[in-house]
Amino acid sequence: MAGLTGKGSFGQRRTVAARAKGGLLVLGTFVVLLFVIELFNMVMLRSLNATFGLRPRSADGLLDIFTFPLLHANLNHLLSNSLPLIIFGFLVFLSGVRVFLTALAFSWLGSGLTVWLIGDGGVTVGASGLVFGLFSFLLVRGFLNRSWRQILLAVVLFMGYGSILLGVLPIGAGYISWQAHLGGAAGGVVAAMLLRHRPVTGPALRVPGA
């Protein structure tokens, strides 16, 4: 008698469906929160940016690492980040809550710390560091996991969004924080390395009846 049945396949599909619903709920809620903050920031005449935006190499700026991705320069800035944030975040969430939270946390901290350390000055706001972190995570994890399915997804994403990687270079407009992009991307790569599948050691696992 085989040790694996159709019930296992059905359970796996149900798990993926549950993750998909959870991912849409979490990412949708997060983006709605960003829009609520943006509207409030508009009413406050952008005063939140001056208070909670990230200021490089200042003691108070270390706390701003936890708030600056929640703020944006204007509505267009938020709109440009929203769709890729939902897409990349959703695709990462399909691998599980732990994977999503790890990738998000490293992208967030990597982006913030890089701006704090080597930022050009002024105040940095925006979730683009998270976008770059989640994107880089999706690009490299398949090669680390040796998963052809994840590699294929990475190729498709690179064909569609690969040009944004130019944003990690200091060649854009002066108001664009390449440091946030670079740090977020580095954080995503570190998360992928920490979460890579490790080979199982010990006696081989045998399935009864196989």
Place of tokens 């990475």: 154
User: Does 72 participate in catalysis according to the annotation?
Assistant: no
- Between CA 2 and CA 102 the distance in angstroms is 36
77 is a catalytic site residue:
no
Of the candidates 82, 107, 128, 136, the residue annotated as catalytic is 128
CA gap 144, 197 in Å, rounded: 8
Cα→Cα distances 20→14, 92, 107, Å: 10, 10, 21
Among candidate residues 82, 107, 111, 181, the one labeled active-site is 181
* CA dist., res. 62 & res. 56, Å (int): 8
* Residues annotated catalytic, as ranges: 128, 181
